[in-house]
Amino acid sequence: MTVPPRWRVLVANRGEIALRIMRACRDEGLETVAVYSDADRHAPFVRAADQAIRIGPPAPADSYLRIDALLAAAAESGADAVHPGYGFLSERAAFAQAVADAGLSFVGPSAAAIAAMGDKTSARRLMAAAGVPIVPGSADTLSDSDAAAAIAAGIGFPVLVKAVAGGGGKGMRVVRHPRELGAALTAASREAVKAFGDGRVYLEKYIERPRHVEIQILADHQRTIHVGERECSIQRRHQKLVEEAPSVAVTPALRERMGAAAIAAARAVGYRGAGTCEFLLGADGEFYFLEMNTRIQVEHPVTEAVYGVDLVREQLRIARGMPMSIPDGPVTPRGWAIECRITSEDPANGLLPSAGTITWIRAPAGPGVRWESGVESGSEVTLFYDSMLAKLIVHAADRPRAIDVMQRALAELVLVGVATNIPFHRRLLADLDFATGAIDIQFLERRADLLLPADDDATTTRLAIVAALLAEERRVSRRTGSPPVSTGDLNVARSAWRDTARRDALR
Ligand code: ADP
């Protein structure tokens, strides 16, 4: 057997996923190279790497999206491979190709597989040919509004206008009545030009109240397997906020059927590495292929928890020509895992991203808790990048207990300095409908109350302020030997802290 290469891996990403990938590299005995923009000079992921190279100013177009700058950094650092993470260039076929052309290994599928899945109408055609169920809709790009009207009438309203180059829910419009179709086509196309430089749109049947259930795929040079499902129905404007594994709606038999469809999808494009097939699952148990994400997903840790795998290490193994380390045979989930995405979205300001300095973070810990963060106390949060700061993942024996652990972990979590969606997560995890698992992708549209600021957010804020006060006191007294506030004030703060913590525990 040939000895797998001892690589130096350049991580073409930032934040929590860059750190996550570097940890996996270290676990595999591989060296790491960070690339960073000026805004990330002091970020934890930069310090975590063996080498770090500046690639440009803060704006992504001037740094993390610059293929030439990334390849120059790879040459300068002597990197053997590039891991793209998620977002940025991770699903850009041209990037995978440029990496290969530079004589480097790309930790991901081939450029051809990325391209085949990146165009939604071509992916739908390929999937239909491979026997994967797709949402009923137009086979091609729409030429004009008369053709669109005829197709829509054939599908039946409501229909969904979607961008061929779509991503992140952009260029999508729901149309409930024929007379709204023309305006929706124009609006979706205009949005798609702005977001992707490609205004082509097509039509799909709009499925009412489906769940978003996705299947994790792993493929090495011999086997293509599935590693179960994740339920990602808790979304706001088509952006996932909470994910779990397994799904309350998926029986072992359905898991095998969806798994087989996802494997067929991956094989149809000669897929290699880790990937995800997204499906809509109807209340009737019918499922439809949405798209394949040809990269690691944000929510991969919930799969790791219930299946006991390290998906990023598997990606690295496969890219190095090694077989995946997962034994043959059916995979069975153990227990339940939930992930909450902690974003710097301000509930008091229409959930728009907020910026500022994180003055203090207290990360949750204890049994069943995993904290994946790109930031630390002192980190600067800018508006240049995605608003996701960190992910909180819990794992317990079953769903009710996972909800308990998540509530405890959220109560322990303190993040001071920027507004976050932590209060939303606390309300959701305490919600009775969420507890029964009666969720679908329109759940948060119906329950907008969960997203808005509530009175009990004041409790969280108070807890955070007291925590920050105590932290500051410890820091200053360590430096100067004397506390910045009077002993009396500190006693009041400490008892307020204990009261709040106790009330949180009782809730
Ligand atoms: P994007 O690539 O922009 O993320 P997707 O095709 O993955 O687009 O769709 C994003 C989200 O939009 C899905 O998670 C789902 O919530 C919703 N969606 C997509 N297609 C449909 C459909 N045909 N019916 C109902 N909802 C849909």
Written as six digits, the tokens of 227 are 């590693």
Summarize pLDDT for 471-507 with one digit per residue, the tens.
666 666 666 665 555 566 566 566 656 655 555 544 4
pLDDT, position 506: 45
Q: How far apart are CA 42 and CA 381, in angstroms?
A: 12
Determine whether 447 is exposed, middle or buried from the number of CB atoms within 10 Å of its CB (0-12, 13-18, 19+). Answer: middle
Question: How far away, in angstroms, is 391 Cα from ligand 1 center?
Answer: 23
What number is the average pLDDT over the span 82-103?
97
Contacts of 502 (CB under 8 A, 6+ apart): none
Tokens 């996923």 appear where? 17
* Number of neighbouring beta carbons within 10 Å of residue 145: 15
Q: What CATH number matches the domain at 136-205, 3.40.640.10, 2.40.50.140, 3.30.1490.20, 3.20.20.100? A: 3.30.1490.20
* Number of neighbouring beta carbons within 10 Å of residue 290: 23
Report domain extents, the chain: 8-107, 136-205, 211-450
Written as six digits, the tokens of 454 are 């509530």
Tokens 């009710």 appear where? 400
Q: Which of 369, 447, 449, 352 is nearest to 410 (CA)?
A: 369
Taking CA atoms only, the protein residue closest to ligand 1 atom 13 is: 238
Atom of ligand 1 nearest to the CA of 137: 23
pLDDT, position 237: 87
Q: What CATH number matches the domain at 8-107, 3.40.50.980, 3.40.50.20, 1.10.3720.10, 3.30.70.980? A: 3.40.50.20
Q: How far apart are CA 472 and CA 485, in angstroms?
A: 10
pLDDT, position 247: 98
Q: How far apart are CA 162 and CA 158, in angstroms?
A: 13
Name the superfamily (CATH) of residues 211-450: ATP-grasp fold, B domain (3.30.470.20)
pLDDT, position 61: 96
Judge whether 295 counts as a catalytic residue: yes
Distances (CA, A) of 35 to 10, 253, 417, 492: 8, 44, 26, 46
**Which amino acid is present at 354?**
S
Our answer on whether the CB atom of 71 is closer than 6 Å to any ligand 1 atom is no
Percent of the chain residues past pLDDT 90, beyond the cut:
79
Summarize pLDDT for 92-101 with one digit per residue, the tens.
999 999 999 9
Percent of the chain residues past pLDDT 70, beyond the cut:
90
Atom of ligand 1 nearest to the CA of 204: 23
Q: Please state whether the peptide bond connecting residue 5 to the residue before it is cis, i.e. omega within 30 degrees of 0.
A: no
Dihedral sign from CA coordinates of 503, 504, 506, 507: positive
Question: How far away, in angstroms, is 100 Cα from ligand 1 center?
Answer: 31
Question: How far away, in angstroms, is 300 Cα from ligand 1 center?
Answer: 19
Question: Which position among 200, 272, 295, 320 bears the catalytic label?
Answer: 295
Q: Which of 17, 85, 87, 86 is nearest to 48 (CA)?
A: 17
pLDDT, position 167: 78
